Structure 1
Amino acid sequence: MDQALMPTQIEIASPRLRLVALDPRLAALQVDDRQAFFDALEVEPEPSWPPELTDETAMRRLRETLDAHPEQTGWRAWVFISPVMHRLLGSGGFMGAPDAEGVVEIGYSMLTSWREQGLATEAVNTLLQWAYSHDTVKQVVARTPDDRDAAHRVLEKAGFVQAGHEGDVIAWTHERSRLAA
């Protein structure tokens, strides 16, 4: 791939997290050379990587998508890193760039040992701020199984409201006006 077409690495930070958007290079390393992936992120090797809800198929699909569309860096996967411990804590991001109505869908997953500490909420709030920094984004949506109370609490704390049920999945919405200060 032409290096001139490669986006620059996107990083954002919150009080306890460093979030890095996976670009084509990082997405490929995550699949092909896990140690090089950790080295590129300057984190300790994480034996339990990736978090729940991310499997080999999803990682390969991400690599293929970013290879074909490097401009979607930031609108796909992000990793959540502790800048103090240099450890991967979880991942999340968007299902793609905003649609014609300005809607993006968000998702997230924490490694088991980093749950129940407010880190997922912090990551979601940071991703919301990044998304809304783009004028084209008008609304962020999420979907969670109706039996995932912890996931519901994360979304509620981040200002999402339930928008209805789709079978055993709860649909959530977040408007720009609800962005946490």
Structure 2
Amino acid sequence: MLPLNTNRLFIYPCRLPLLTQIFLEHPHARETLQANIPENWPQPDLKEQLPHFIELLQHDPRSFPWMLWIIVNKEEGTVIGDIGFKGRPDKNGVIEIGYTLLPSWRKKGYMREAATALVEWAFRQPHVKKLIAECDVTNTASMKVLQHLGMEEVKSPGEMLHWQLMNK
């Protein structure tokens, strides 16, 4: 069932038209999502990645829904962040998750809720065997989300911590 629906959130996967609308800052994106889009979203990292996502979906439509998902707070009807995977499962069934929330929505359990819903969805898909993630060693909020998902830290030389979770 898409979008994903949790207690407080709708989580929408982005098809090519919506990605293009977001990239172009077109007003139809608000209509498509039926949500307010704050001026500070998308964040700079996502803005930089949008052309890559658009190109990937143009050349590989099967990449949907394995990239960007938009997190909308139900009560406020507002985009509060994004979550997704860095492409579809590889030949070994591995997917990598990434996410971000707008600063004013952090430390309220929203990312835990969104990540739980998305990981549960992913593990119901055929061929998904393992979830991986990485986060900066100073990002304790992200570490808490990954721990909540049941991920375990694996060898991590340097400034990034690496995590994994096997599909049961």
The answer to whether the superposition gives a TM-score over 0.5 is yes
Q: How many residues align?
A: 168
The alignment status of 1:92 with 2:91, answered yes or no, reads: no
Of the three residues 148, 151, 155, the one matched with 1:160 is: 151
> Which residue in 1 is equivalent to 2:132?
141
Alpha-carbon distance in 1 for matches of 2:14, 2:142 = 23
> Which residue in 1 is equivalent to 2:141?
150
> Is contact 1:52-1:109 (8 Å) kept?
no
Q: Quickly say closer, same or farther: Cα 1:95–1:18, change in 2 above 3 A.
A: same
> Which residue in 2 is equivalent to 1:101?
92
The alignment status of 1:76 with 2:98, answered yes or no, reads: no
Structure 2: which 5+ runs fail to align? none
**One-letter amino acid of the counterpart of residue 117, structure 2:** T
Shift of 1:52: 5.8
Shift of 1:158: 1.4
TM-score (norm 2): 0.94
> Which residue in 1 is equivalent to 2:116?
125
Task: Give the percent of matched residue pairs that are identical in Structure 1 and Structure 2.
Answer: 25
The alignment status of 1:45 with 2:62, answered yes or no, reads: no
Once the two structures are superposed, residues 23-69 of structure 1 have per-residue CA deviations (whole angstroms, 9 ceiling, x without a partner) of 10111101113422122111113111113632x32111111111222
Once the two structures are superposed, residues 79-128 of structure 1 have per-residue CA deviations (whole angstroms, 9 ceiling, x without a partner) of 00112211001101001111111110000000111100111011111110
What secondary structure is seen at the aligned counterpart in 2 of 1:167?
Answer: coil
> Is contact 1:52-1:110 (8 Å) kept?
no
Structure 1: which 5+ runs fail to align? 1-8
> Which residue in 1 is equivalent to 2:7?
15
Q: Quickly say closer, same or farther: Cα 1:53–1:121, change in 2 above 3 A.
A: farther
What secondary structure is seen at the aligned counterpart in 2 of 1:172?
Answer: strand
**One-letter amino acid of the counterpart of residue 21, structure 1:** P
TM-score (norm 1): 0.87
> Is contact 1:51-1:112 (8 Å) kept?
no
> Is contact 1:106-1:140 (8 Å) kept?
yes
Alpha-carbon distance in 1 for matches of 2:135, 2:118 = 17
> Which residue in 2 is equivalent to 1:24?
16
Alpha-carbon distance in 2 for matches of 1:83, 1:63 = 27
CA RMSD of aligned residues (A): 1.5
Shift of 1:166: 3.7
